[in-house]
Structure 1
Amino acid sequence: MLGHSGVGKTSLLCAMYDQFDRIIGKTNLQLTPDDETKTILDQRLKELKESAQQNSIKVRGGINKTETARTYNFDLGKTGKVASIKLLFQDYSGGDIFTKKEAVINYIRDSVAILIAIDTPALMENNSQWHEELNQPQIIYDLFKSSFADLDSPKLVIFAPVKCEKYLRDTTGEQQLVTAIQEKYSNLLSFFRSDALVPYVATVMTPVETLGSVDFSRVEEDENGEPIFYFRKPDPNKFYSPNNSDQPLRYLLRFLLKLHLQKRKMSFLELIFVMLDQDKTFLNAMSEFSNGCKNNGAFTIFQGANLLTIN
């Protein structure tokens, strides 16, 4: 989970967690957090749901910010069976991208997939006035340059705009969001397209409506010149209802399936691949779930379609 402080990394994970059972339950899969993960995310979810009760929301930077690095552990397996795969989501204090860069670089280096959480109003409003400050795209770029040096195994990079409800209401807004990501992260996307990296890096964009019930309304500056973002409910009777929070996991499982089918020789995934060869029912359930990856409107594969295409 990569991003500056307050952009919404933990809110993104909460939305994913909250919707896992509802979405995955339609397949033969179950995703189960360990006790510590469940306790922490349930508390964060309570905060999100309480904020969604309000008709107008004032935001200076997400729900309570993460103060320390934390690993969220989930078991993934067939429904009613012992888990087959353990998924670890690494979160950290957003300020660590400045103060503990080496630790964040190691997180990126050790991860199969990297989710870049992006504060969408900061990106889209007032000619992207607050984008550099809140999303820190240059720091994100520098982290990837360090962690992807001499890359020799495939990686999935997911751009995940959050607080994006307003921009997904029509095709014009969706296209504007895609264009903004391409423009404001052009140096990072160009880096991924370099000769050394293009065979190894799949890059997609999956916007996630972390509340689902609110639209961005306006931004004002406080007495110190800091932005305050205001959100409002188009429908006062609609409450916490995140949308598309399943897409990052669908893309992750699709990526793993493709590597398995290609018989990639990677030590850190070898045990998973052996398990998939032995458990065809679980393999089929993963395949069914991953077939739900969206690739239209604002959901975009920027590169590496060959690492995501399953015939």
Structure 2
Amino acid sequence: MTDAERPVFEYKIGLLAPSQVGKSTLIASLLSEGQRMLTGDTTVQLVAADRLTRNRIAIADNLVAGALKARVFQPKLMPGTSDPAWFRLLLEPRGRDLPIRFDILDYPGGWLESGGEGPEHEQKWNECEAFLADSSVLIVPIDSVLLMEAGAEHAPVLTSHLAVFQIKQVVLRWAKNRRERAGEPAMVIFCPVKCETYLSDSGSLQDHSAALKHQVVDQFSEVLETIREAAPHASVRYLPIDTYGCVELVSARWVPRSGAPGNVEMEPKYRVRPPGTITRKGLEDLISLLCRQLVDSARMQSEQSAARHQATARYSREYADLREGFFRDLWNRASGERGRRERVAEADQQRYTEAQEVTRSLFDVLAALAERRGGPRLHHLS
């Protein structure tokens, strides 16, 4: 939790999805939407932690903006991730050097489906799996168009296209890790994405929210059961997200593709609703949920650290004030031992005071985040 100079709270956030679901877009959206959401907040801000993260997010944002300008949007034309990439975001209390860092790993979704291809990719995927298993929070983005448009003809291959079995295996390893570290955060968020066509609050003329949720719970029922059995303390949420907010499904046809489950894949096409302004409904709830969960964990860690510093400071003070008899006390003063004990006691007291200040700052951040109530899209599944 701490380095040599300042407290640092670091959390891993894992995204678990096959290819073409939109992991990279979702990660980039977390920062841009988080910055917009917290613009007027005087307590906390969300920023990119390093130049590489800023560059990757800028590239993803530009690709999305350019695609929307075309007015006919085809996600398959967006370049996929070809190699693992780190995104690091900082949630910072304004005016304090007290970062809470979110580490998010993006990776080729095909690796989840195949476990990597060739020894080099297999090793990289093993590293990705280790990161996912060690994550405080797992986000499971799900292609809502795939869920809702599969139809009876392609229903037998839907579970394979969603990579449910592969997701279940990763979740099982994660759940066992969380069970062994019960004092740390443990949350799974099922996030259908590209939901603009199915939810009436997005501008759609029909409301298919109940059907969408039913499909998620039905398709991922074994994953949910795995979490309940292996990590019953884990929190499970359902939160549909509009990836762009200004698009609407025109068609979703199945086309031949060798090697895909059933040798077919879905090819959706969208139109862009004028004026083409991005409005990502549901994302504010995701950001608030992540921030509250992880800031609360940081607060608990800080309280534990403060309690340890308090015990150390109390012992150091008692030792500094200890009287050991006339001659021993005289020797302690003459040799400088008494002064050394005083300095140690003062330093330990200072560390305790600083730990208290960190805890108070985290309480302030948590209070500010708690004021943001969850929207109607957010549901408990546990």
Q: For the superposition of Structure 1 and Structure 2, which TM-score range results when normalised by the shorter chain?
A: 0.7 to 0.9
Q: Select the residue among 260, 269, 288 that pairs with 1:230.
A: 269
Instruction: String of CA shifts for 1:261-309, please: whole Å, max 9, x gaps.
Output: 7679999xx9xxx96862424432233224425253x321111xxxxxx
Q: Which residue type is aligned with residue 176 of structure 2?
A: A
Q: Which residue type is aligned with residue 269 of structure 2?
A: Y
Q: Which residue type is aligned with residue 46 of structure 2?
A: L
TM-score (norm 1): 0.84
- Which structure has the higher relative contact order (CA within 8 Å, separation 6+)? 1
Written as runs of structure 1 = structure 2, the 5 A alignment for 1:33-112 is: 33=48, 34-60=50-76, 63-97=78-112, 98-99=115-116, 100=122, 101-112=125-136
- Structure with bigger gyration radius: 2
Q: Which residue type is aligned with residue 159 of structure 1?
A: F
* TM-aligned CA deviation for residue 140 of structure 1: 0.3
* TM-aligned CA deviation for residue 83 of structure 1: 4.2
* TM-aligned CA deviation for residue 188 of structure 1: 0.7
Figure out how many residues of one structure are paired with residues of the other and give that number.
Answer: 293
Answer yes or no: is the 8 Å Cα contact 1:29–1:286 preserved in 2: no
Give the SS at the match of 1:238.
coil
Instruction: String of CA shifts for 1:55-77, please: whole Å, max 9, x gaps.
Output: 3222327x321111111112221
Answer yes or no: is the 8 Å Cα contact 2:175–2:227 preserved in 1: no
Does residue 215 of structure 1 match 2:248?
A: yes
CA distance in 2, matches of 1:146, 1:103: 13
CA distance in 2, matches of 1:266, 1:64: 45
Give the SS at the match of 2:139.
strand
* TM-aligned CA deviation for residue 37 of structure 1: 0.4
Instruction: String of CA shifts for 1:128-163, please: whole Å, max 9, x gaps.
Output: 746434421111011112332362224111111111
Written as runs of structure 1 = structure 2, the 5 A alignment for 1:11-30 is: 11-27=25-41, 28-30=43-45
Equivalence for 1:186: 221
CA distance in 2, matches of 1:54, 1:134: 28
Instruction: String of CA shifts for 1:154-206, please: whole Å, max 9, x gaps.
Output: 41111111111111216841111111111110001111122x4212x111112
Q: 1:275 to 1:204 in 2, by over 3 A?
A: farther
TM-score (norm 2): 0.69
Answer yes or no: is the 8 Å Cα contact 1:163–1:216 preserved in 2: no
Written as runs of structure 1 = structure 2, the 5 A alignment for 1:110-189 is: 110-127=134-151, 129=155, 131-149=158-176, 151-152=179-180, 153=182, 154-169=185-200, 172-189=207-224
Does residue 203 of structure 1 match 2:203?
A: no
Q: Select the residue among 278, 281, 284 that pairs with 2:358.
A: 278
Give the SS at the match of 1:193.
helix
Give the SS at the match of 2:83.
coil
> Which stretch of structure 1 is more off in the superposition, 285-294 or 110-119?
285-294
Q: 1:203 to 1:266 in 2, by over 3 A?
A: farther
Give the SS at the match of 1:14.
helix
Answer yes or no: is the 8 Å Cα contact 1:72–1:90 preserved in 2: yes
Answer yes or no: is the 8 Å Cα contact 1:209–1:243 preserved in 2: yes
User: Structure 2: which 5+ residue stretches go unaligned?
Assistant: 1-14, 117-121, 258-263, 309-353
CA distance in 1, matches of 2:28, 2:51: 15
- Identical-pair percentage: 19
* TM-aligned CA deviation for residue 236 of structure 1: 2.0
Does residue 300 of structure 1 match 2:369?
A: no
CA distance in 2, matches of 1:248, 1:123: 21
Q: 1:263 to 1:212 in 2, by over 3 A?
A: same
Q: Which residue type is aligned with residue 216 of structure 2?
A: I
Structure with the largest fraction of helix: 2
